[in-house]
């Protein structure tokens, strides 16, 4: 169990790295996110003011995101380790992971967008950006975890 927890913590770091890159202003996902939160409509001065207001509280957001990322990583690592332990191949595990993404993550993202403040053509972009981001994160965490268990 210690190995599962440690590998899950590696998964948290992976999630943070992917999230930071994906949501950076230069990336497609970041541009969509900035549009979603209305940041792209602000002037440079207003953007700097918002950043300055958010900075003192940002550590709380990062800590909560790390906790949430740990839950996801733990699930991925635990299921992978038990799948391998029970004689299933890593390809079978990847199919489980794809079904989890398709059956749980995609509907949750879609529901949040349908019932949230996303408008017009941004809905499809936000849905695709968030869904693809989750799939990439799951896949990379699973691949790194497989290096420890396969």
Cβ atoms 64, 106 nearer than 8 A: no
In this predicted structure, what is the pLDDT of residue 138? Answer: 95
What CA–CA distance (Å, rounded) separates 54 from 11?
A: 26
> Which tens digit of pLDDT belongs to each residue from 94-127?
999 999 999 999 999 999 998 988 878 889 999 9
Q: Tens of pLDDT along 17-58? A: 999 999 888 888 888 888 887 777 778 788 788 778 888 888
Tokens of 26: 């230069």
């Amino acid at each position: 169990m210690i190995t599962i927890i440690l590998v899950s913590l590696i998964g948290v770091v992976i999630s943070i790295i992917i999230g930071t890159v994906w949501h950076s202003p230069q990336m497609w996902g970041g541009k969509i996110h900035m549009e979603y939160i209305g940041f792209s409509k602000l002037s440079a001065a207003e953007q700097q003011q918002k950043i300055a207001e958010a900075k003192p509280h940002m550590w709380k957001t990062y800590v909560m995101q790390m906790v949430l990322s740990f839950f996801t990583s733990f699930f991925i690592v635990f299921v992978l380790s038990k799948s391998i332990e029970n004689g299933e191949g890593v390809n079978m595990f990847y199919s489980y992971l794809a079904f989890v993404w398709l059956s749980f993550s995609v509907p949750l993202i879609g529901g949040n967008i349908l019932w949230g403040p996303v408008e017009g053509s941004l809905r499809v972009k936000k849905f695709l950006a968030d869904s693809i981001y989750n799939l990439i994160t799951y896949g990379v965490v699973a691949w790194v975890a497989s290096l420890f268990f396969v």
